[in-house]
A and B are shown apart, each in its own frame.
Chain A
Amino acid sequence: MATVLKIENLHKSFTLGFLLKKKEILRGISLSVEQGEVFGYLGPNGAGKTTTIKCILGLIFPEKGNIEIFGHPYLSPKAKEKTGFLPENPYFYDHLTASEFLDYYSQLFLMKKEAKEKKIKSLLRLVDLEKSADLQLRKFSRGMLQRIGMAQALLNDPSLVFLDEPLGGLDPLGRKEIRDIITRLKDEGKTVFLSSHILQDIEMICTRVAIIVNGEIISQGALHDLISEKILFTEVILSGVNDKELKELGECISGHGERTLLKVFKEENVEKVLQLAHSSKGKVHSLIPRTETLEDLFVGIVKQR
């Protein structure tokens, strides 16, 4: 697979306060993104995720390092023609209607009238804003702004899309809609660079991730390589069994009515729990083996730092 984004040894610092104290935000970031993958860029707040994206898109200038997009220098119009960007908490020209807004942005790509009109219609359909095409953006809800932001990011049919916290602040339905669009982009063969700290969503849609903490990449690779598939413990929900006997086999987490949630760490004890339930004429409601999640990995790494 071809490399669409290559970052080498990226450094950026800002001067803060009256005394112009220098604060290092990025300390030698290096990563590469391959064509067609959904690349998750994870990190706690203030780790440097947005700063990295701003450097890539030419909104701020790195002090050191090299960035290439599709083999072109990152600031060249050729590189920008192939990319799309949805910023965090997007805010757009609120005096424009949705279609006026997309029309304005399409002019920045020098799109021809017919192609422009067709594209705007299809994008409004994609983000489910056809009915709000003539509504001013100031009347848009947060979810709608996120969706119109997604539409502007896709105006030029980009091969590489940067999404900065696209799922932040959205309700479950809004999150699902954005997730579906990202999945669709992936199916169309586009590359998505997704910065987020909502780990469940990253786990669901990303193929490869990089974890950034304090301006440094701590870990990167394919999701299945990073997360161990070894069973960490088994969660068993059961009823009609004496709690005292269960405590010897695992950790009783909670009791809701007659039901008990038991965390069993040893695999041989799972069998014993089932036998106990059978002999006590109890009932097993669910039995779920838990493997390591991205959240476990992330929390582990961040705590180590």
Chain B
Amino acid sequence: MDRQPVPAMAVTADMILQRRRGKRYTQAGVYLILCVLVLWSVQVTIIEDTDWARMGSLAEVWESTNRFIGIDFALFKDLIGPTIETFMIACLGTLLGVLLCIPAAWFGALNITPFKPVTYPLARLMMTISRSIHEIVWALFFVAAVGLGALPGIFAIAVRSVGFIAKMSAEAIEDIDPGPVEAIRSVGGNNLQVLIYAILPQILPQVLGVIIFEWEINIRRSAVLGLVGAGGLGLVFFRQMNTFNYHGVMSVIIAILALIVLGEAFSHRVRRAII
């Protein structure tokens, strides 16, 4: 493949260099704006807002950090109960979330939503609300509504996780192979039968994976709900903090980490087995 007479060097190194330089100037401009924005934020949030006198010198900060180094081993036997509680809140919350997600996913999947103009946007709105509010806010809300204890924690976890599970399930439903649906319809199946025989088997592995993934995150969440009065390890953390038992605080953190690591290992195993 010979090229015909080459048009005397259409591109020169100068052109390329110049273009690159121009590009670099625009890039530099963008970064400059970014830097100004950062510096302004730093000025407002960190330099002006911080009570530097209260913080004191670096040595004092180091000293207050040092208070946390160490573990209160005696506390561990009192942590077993709350750890189990946290675990159970995560499990029950996920379970309730899964139950709530069935109607949400049904309404939120374009291909099976019963009455598109109403149910679809409604379901999508619920999913967004559920996902966009932080679990602590949900917990505050439910503590205010049903009182202290494990129950508001379960509600908070359930409501917080329903959005993600429902969104992923709805997407899975939208992606199904329509063949089996037609097959079940053609043997005279009604909507429910289509759901159970044609849709559910197709999305089950995927949805199960999502649920386990969310369960793993829920353990992490349920460990802090106690901070606002919803039981579990968070409550102990709060108490240790308020009684200035900093080594106890570290013990609670270790318990949380252990629980999370276990959950992660388990979820990793199960998800691999499913997929």
Q: Do A and B form a real pair?
A: no
Taking Cβ atoms with an 8 Å cutoff, the residues of A that contact B are: none
